[in-house]
Each structure stands twice: as C-alpha cells, then as structure tokens.
Structure 1
Amino acid sequence: MSALSIQDLVVRYGHGSNAMVAVDGVSLTVPRGEVVGLVGESGSGKSTVARAIVGLAPVASGSILLDGAPVPRRGRRPVQMVFQDPQSSLDPRMSIARSIAESFGPEIPRAGRAAEVARLLELVHLDPARAAARPGELSGGQRQRVAIARALAARPDVIVADEITSALDVSVQGAVLNLVRELQRELGLSMLFISHNLAVVRYVASTVAVMRGGRIVEQGPVEQILEHPEHPYTRELLAAVPESLRSAS
C-alpha cells in the first residue's frame, strides 16, 4: 500500500459568475497502511473529494499524489473506489464472478481467475458458491461485500470508501465495518473512509478530517477530535452522536 496526498485541491463546476466551488483548497494525507476518516454533512464536499481522487470530478487546481507522483489516469488504477450504493455500482446483468474479474490486471491469468474470485469472496466472508449469482439475488450487505472484493481485485495502493454503510440496514452496518477493520489489519490497507457519522469513523479510522462548505475545518487523531473538538461545527456533529456510541470502541 502507498501514501495518498491531496494538496490545495479545488473542484469547481461551471464557469464565470455561474461557477460553483464544491471543494476549496483541501489538503489531506492518507499515510501508508492507515485509515483516515473524512466526515461532514451532506453537501459538505467530501464525496466530491472522493470523486476527484479517482478522476470522476474536475480538478481546477491543486494536486493528488500517490507516493509523491501524480495518480495515473490510464492503465492500472492504483486508487479504487467503493461507492455508497452497491445496487447502482454493480451491473445487474453480470454475475458476481464477472464483476470481480473485470478488475483483474494482467498478472492474473485467465486460467486462474476463478480461483482468485473464490479467494476474494472468502476474504470478504461470502460463500464462493455465490460467484454465479447476480446482484439482485444478494442482500444489500452482500452486494457491498462484492463491491469491496471488486476493489481489492485490482490490487490497489489506496481504497476510497464513500459512505459505504449509509445505504445499508443498521443491522448489517456493523458487520461491514468489522470487515473493514479486519481487512485493514490483514492487508495493511491505505484507505480514505468517508462518512457523515463521527461514530462510524471513530470505529475504523485512526485520524479524521472534518469538512464543511468545501473546506476542512479541523483534523487530527480521532480520539483527540472526539474528546476535545475545537471547531463549533465539529461539536455539532459530535452532539448528534449518542453518548453510548461516542465511547464505543
């Protein structure tokens, strides 16, 4: 895994007087082998940051670097994204095996793809026998596990996870978060984990950045931000978290 560095990122839509700045001078680092949380309410710009990292949003200025070099936009994609809604991110016409295999690089020979699909499904705690199933035959939590397996299939240096539990039932959110923690320990994942929920970020991340109005207003170690928030907006987000979740580990 590698370190991801975002420096003075600006994302602007439109031109002239009609231009809208969605991200305004964001700087953020995801160290090698760590999970960094990016938290904020809907419309804060956090998902736009995610989309800019993987080339899906226009970068007006600033830089996005992987181990000090620009993130390549052609050939192998070293940064992979897991989207919020697995229902829309997986092709309903394709089998699970085919969806995952699409992400394989040339280092996985055709003859070995079935075995690699099975390994990845086991890694995300899905029965390899479901490889022939289509997304519509799976639950929301199972589809999100497939989406994570597909991202891992590309053998990325960094994963960007954008609100990956918010579209799931509360009963399965914890299982997916546990999976993220497990994968981070086992694989040493470098991950930018995006959420509107500080309690969720606390569970998986070591550091957190708080975003509002396209800017980062506060960042630091998760425990420090939770126990001694300095910005009023951070305190507002924290106040929305039940006390029981605030102290959970």
Structure 2
Amino acid sequence: MSELRFDDVVVRYGGVTAVDHVSLTVPEGEVVGLVGESGSGKSTLARAAVGLVPFEGRITLGDAPVPVRGRHRPVRMVFQDPHSSLDPRMSVGESIAEAIPPGSSRAARRAEVARLLELVHLEPGRGGARPAELSGGQRQRVALARALAGRPAVVVADEITSALDVSIQGAVLNLVRDLQRELGLSMLFISHNLAVVRYVATRVAVMRHGRIVEQGPTAQVLADPEHDYTRELLAAVPGGHRAAVPAPSRSDR
C-alpha cells in the first residue's frame, strides 16, 4: 500500500498555528479533495507533504516517512500558478525531461516526454515551445506532465484550476479524472470550491482554521453534511451543491 497519511500534523509560523493537529489519509488510487476558504491551512498542509515547510507530527507514505530530499521524491506538487511554476528559459520538453529520473538514454527521455505530453492531451510537438507561448490551461497541463515525469506515488494539486479562465477549468478537471482512471493516480486535490471537489474527488475533507472539521466519502458529506461550516460552503456554491462543473472539450487553445 502507498497511501499518504498525515498523523497529528502541526505547522506553526512564529506564534501562529496554521495547521492544527491534522490527521488525514489519501488512499492509494483515490482522489481526496481538501476544501476550505482561503487561509484555512490547506496549502500549508500541502507544502508540509513535500518538505517546503517544517512540521510536527508524522507524514508517511506506506509505513515510511515521506522523503523530501533528492531527485526521486514520491510525492510531487502541482502549484496554483502554472506560469510561475515553469522556467521561462526552458522549453516545455526540457522542463519535463529535467524531472525524469536519471539513467535513461537521450532517445528514451525524448520518447518519455512525448508520451507524457500525449497523456495530458497536448501534441508532442509542443515540447519545443516556451511556457510563454502556451495558454494558461496548456501550461497547467505541462505542470501536471512534469509532476508525473517523476513517477510519483501521490500528486498534490494545490488550487490548480483557480488561476485559469472559467472556460478552460472544466478541461483541466476532465484531465484529472482521465489520469485517475488511466493511471490509478493517487491525488490530494486542494480547492476552495466544493463543486470542483465534488466533480473529481472520491473522498472529501473540510478544513477550517487549520483543523479538519469533517471528512468522509464525497457523496455522503455533500448530501448530508454534519458540520455547520460544511453547510455554509455548500450554500455558497452557485446553483446549489448539485450544480455540475462545466465539461468543455479537451482542447483549451
């Protein structure tokens, strides 16, 4: 089993507790949605998982602590802003190839870059483009391909659609669903939008003021929420919590 577990995790910034004794599990092969308002601690928990902030408690993959050093890290993060997460001086193909574990030939790496681009629904010929030549949705697809290039056990996706135009958010969400089906991808999917989480996640955890206030199967939590805060988030979804996320075509040129 390669489930990602947070056990009694605490993150403090000076005298402020951003994550307050959080326990959460991302089962192997599932997408777990972590939802809450801005400042609730969601992104801080994500950064703890990949070693970007110090923490107390335990974060494990399987039975071992998550490695956060070295090139082969089994938990990879995709950030909110695809423009700032890619080196503008490198081509798309170079950025993806840089994340591939060492040991393969140059030809094999080129073939793997092409495979990864196709996997995220981009033409392999896009490998020679610079990030500035791509749309926001295409850059986020490249960021996903770069994360997958490291062959991670778990991907942490931090608000990956919130910086995109509404017209292309659905295409990226469809991609997440496709990757989960095709690869059995394990993902911690962070969002402030319950409608988005409902669309991609099998389980959901609701975070407020650094704590998990409710968690469980997505359908169960959204149909019969137990916590007042969860009900507030549901009430804030335009059109009600049953509203569907738009599902445009794969292309987001």
| Cα separation, 2, equivalents of 1:96 and 1:206 | 31
Counterpart position of 2:117: 121
Counterpart position of 1:199: 195
1:212-223 equivalences under 5 Å are 212-223=208-219
Give per-residue Cα distances to partners, 1:62-93, cap 9 Å, x unaligned: 10000011011223100000000001100111
Counterpart position of 2:248: none
**Alpha-carbon deviation of 1:107?**
4.3
Structure 1 unaligned regions, length at least 5: none
Contact kept in structure 2, 1:5 and 1:68, CA below 8 Å: no
| Cα separation, 1, equivalents of 2:146 and 2:106 | 16
Please state whether the residue corresponding to 1:33 is helix, strand or coil.
Answer: coil
Aligned pair partner of 1:89 in 85, 89, 99: 85
**Alpha-carbon deviation of 1:108?**
3.1
| Cα separation, 2, equivalents of 1:158 and 1:107 | 22
Counterpart position of 1:52: 48
**Alpha-carbon deviation of 1:225?**
1.0
Counterpart position of 1:178: 174
Please state whether the residue corresponding to 1:102 is helix, strand or coil.
Answer: helix
Structure 2 unaligned regions, length at least 5: 246-253
| Cα separation, 2, equivalents of 1:40 and 1:214 | 10
Please state whether the residue corresponding to 2:99 is helix, strand or coil.
Answer: coil
Percent identity between matched residues is 76
Counterpart position of 2:94: 98
The one-letter code sitting in structure 1 at the alignment partner of 2:37 is E
Counterpart position of 1:8: 8
1:114-193 equivalences under 5 Å are 114-193=110-189
1:245–1:226 distance in 2 versus 1, CA, 3 Å: closer
**Alpha-carbon deviation of 1:104?**
0.7
The one-letter code sitting in structure 2 at the alignment partner of 1:57 is V
| Cα separation, 1, equivalents of 2:104 and 2:220 | 43
The size of the alignment, in residue pairs, is 244
Contact kept in structure 1, 2:234 and 2:241, CA below 8 Å: no
Aligned pair partner of 1:227 in 223, 227, 241: 223
Give per-residue Cα distances to partners, 1:44-72, cap 9 Å, x unaligned: 0000000000000111x110000011011
| Cα separation, 2, equivalents of 1:223 and 1:73 | 33
| Cα separation, 1, equivalents of 2:240 and 2:8 | 36
**Alpha-carbon deviation of 1:247?**
4.7
**Alpha-carbon deviation of 1:161?**
0.3
**Alpha-carbon deviation of 1:95?**
0.4
Which is worse superposed, 81-90 or 69-78? 69-78
1:21-100 equivalences under 5 Å are 21-59=17-55, 61-75=56-70, 76-100=72-96
1:215–1:124 distance in 2 versus 1, CA, 3 Å: same
The one-letter code sitting in structure 1 at the alignment partner of 2:190 is I
| Cα separation, 1, equivalents of 2:143 and 2:103 | 21
How does the TM-score come out when normalised to structure 1? 0.95
| Cα separation, 2, equivalents of 1:235 and 1:135 | 40
Give per-residue Cα distances to partners, 1:31-54, cap 9 Å, x unaligned: 000000000000000000000000
Q: CA RMSD in A?
A: 1.2
